[in-house]
Amino acid sequence: MEHTEDRKNKKTSVISRFLSFFQKIGNKILKFFINLYKFFKNGFKKFYARFMDGSIGTKLSHLVMGAGNFYHKQFIKGFIYLALQFGFFFLMITSPMVNNTPIGFKSLGNLITLGTEEGGIIFNPDFTFEIIPTDNSMLMLLFGVVVIGIIAVYIVAHNSSIKSSYKADLDKRNNKKPTNFKQDIKSLLDDRFHVALLTPAMIGILVFTILPTIFMILIAFTNSDKEHVPGQQLIDWVGFLNFSNIFSGTGEISRRFLPVLSWTLVWAFFATFTNYIGGILLALLINKKEVKFKKIWRTVFVITIALPQFVTLLAMRSLLMNQGPVHQMLMNIGILAEGSTFEILQFAADPLTTRIAVILINVWIGVPFTMLMTSGILMNVPSELYEAAQIDGATKRQAFFNITIPYIVFVTTPYLITSFIGNITSFNVIFLLTGGLPRAGGGAIAGETDLLVTWLYKLTIEQNDYNLGSVIAILTFIITASATLISYRRSKSFKEEDAFQ
């Protein structure tokens, strides 16, 4: 009786936990919007108060960047701000052509239309002809995003010019001298050191991580495929069509999405756990007291990490070829008949063979890494733990199972999560070993061992179906992001639980 009661309690608690999880997410979203509203409201209030309170220079700064700095005789600073504003408007109004595509205010219109000129040849009556180039929709999309970014940066810069003028106002009011240019530079090395350190890295991240990511997401909502080549045909916005095609279409993406997704998850699961368990066992073996020459043993395995993967994986691929050394060896021993064929990687009859082979080869690639990490952790097990166990009269065996193993597992749990996510997006092993083969049949591009990322590569680089590639990229991001979020919540609660004990 009591048992069933217990179970019921557990069940309701699971359901209530589940519900509270969604409730929390709902609350978070609500809170976000409330905060956003407050942010704008307060921002505007502050903006208005600053405008009313500021000197005439500060007021002018709202129109002309740097005016306030000139007013306070900070000429160098004022000149830099003025040049910034001039450059911004010059770029925006003139909209210079880069690769036949304007970049400036015109880009904003182009971002909406993605180009209107279909291009073609006009024959004049005097038998000459002109070639009118097609609008490059892809570049228009890119420049549109870039221009929005530039405008955002400009707004921040303009606000900072007002801010600096207002700060000089306040300095004057407090009978201090407004800072001169030299002092400003100096403060970059001291109390504003974070600005100096972050700016170069942020520019890199902005241009090579954030911009491409936004660009990639937007492509998922266009029809940029192999029938719409930028510069030859116009590309259009298609809304969520590419996404709904996954579930309702008849093309490659709808037929192959679920098989590829499930294999990706199966692969990530096995690749993670085989490496994890194998690596820990190997580290324990090498670190056994009676094993001598630990450094040499370790080095044997570490060479695998140091060697570039394109070398080791292509070596594996050639070893396992039909008529390759492993085939020859198996024939010599007599396991395989002379004259038989040996296909386990690209052209295996049964995709399961290839999948198992790929996971096993991945053990070869990944185990040394976990081994090295676990060895590092083994050296760091707090010695108090062992001393306390010794005082309590525990045997070495007990200490091993009750201290060493739990400690390793506890410490490496975050690693387990990151390596699972890493395996979802691991490209090299599949691409270099099988290239996604064996084929899935029906003319599908995604083979039986293709992961989401290698499929993405094939769709974009080989097939030019950029829209489908982007859709897969977004879905992969959603999978990895939710895995991270869930595990983050878990590990947090894990820590809290631990704190109670």
- Give yes or no for a contact between 114 and 101, defined as CB atoms under 8 angstroms apart: no
Site string for another protein, 141-170 (x = CB under 8 A): -xx---------------------------
Residue 469 binds another protein, judged by CB under 8 A: yes
Which listed residue (32, 39, 40, 193) binds another protein by CB under 8 A? 193
For residue 333, the minimal CB distance to another protein (Å) is 13
For residue 428, the minimal CB distance to another protein (Å) is 7
Cβ proximity to another protein: between 60 and 316 the closer is 316
The rounded distance, in Å, linking the Cα atoms of 171 and 315 is 69
For residue 59, the minimal CB distance to another protein (Å) is 26
Total residues binding another protein (CB under 8 A): 98
DSSP-assigned letters across all residues of 98-110: ETTEE-SHHHHHH
Candidates 421, 429, 300, 415; CA nearest to 360 is 429
Candidates 214, 265, 185; CA nearest to 480 is 265
Residue 453 binds another protein, judged by CB under 8 A: yes
Cβ proximity to another protein: between 69 and 312 the closer is 312
The rounded distance, in Å, linking the Cα atoms of 248 and 240 is 12
19-27, 109-117, 162-170, 304-312 -> range binding another protein (CB under 8 A): 304-312
Looking at residues 204 to 263 of the shown chain, list those that interact with another protein (rule: CB under 8 A): 204-205, 207-213, 215-216, 219
Residue 93 binds another protein, judged by CB under 8 A: no
- Give yes or no for a contact between 327 and 333, defined as CB atoms under 8 angstroms apart: no
Which listed residue (301, 354, 440, 468) binds another protein by CB under 8 A? 301
For residue 70, the minimal CB distance to another protein (Å) is 28
Looking at residues 353 to 392 of the shown chain, list those that interact with another protein (rule: CB under 8 A): 364, 368-369, 372-373, 375-377, 380
Half-sphere exposure of 302 (CA within 13 A, CB side): 12
The rounded distance, in Å, linking the Cα atoms of 9 and 2 is 11
For residue 22, the minimal CB distance to another protein (Å) is 21
Residue 104 binds another protein, judged by CB under 8 A: no
The rounded distance, in Å, linking the Cα atoms of 299 and 10 is 49
Residue 324 binds another protein, judged by CB under 8 A: yes
H-helix or E-strand spanning residue 459 = none
Looking at residues 281 to 300 of the shown chain, list those that interact with another protein (rule: CB under 8 A): 282, 285-286, 288, 290-291, 297, 299-300
The rounded distance, in Å, linking the Cα atoms of 178 and 168 is 5
At position 483, the amino acid (one-letter code) is A
Which listed residue (310, 347, 401, 494) binds another protein by CB under 8 A? 310
The rounded distance, in Å, linking the Cα atoms of 311 and 58 is 63
Parallel/antiparallel/unpaired status of strands 129-132 and 120-123: antiparallel
For residue 139, the minimal CB distance to another protein (Å) is 6
The rounded distance, in Å, linking the Cα atoms of 410 and 279 is 15
Residue with tokens 């179970």: 7
97: which strand partners?
Answer: 102
Cβ proximity to another protein: between 85 and 370 the closer is 370
Half-sphere exposure of 415 (CA within 13 A, CB side): 17
63-71, 117-125, 396-404, 468-476 -> range binding another protein (CB under 8 A): 468-476
Cβ proximity to another protein: between 215 and 269 the closer is 215
For residue 405, the minimal CB distance to another protein (Å) is 16
Q: What are phi and psi of 120, to 5 degrees?
A: 150, -170
For residue 460, the minimal CB distance to another protein (Å) is 5
DSSP code of 118?
A: -
Cβ proximity to another protein: between 67 and 472 the closer is 472
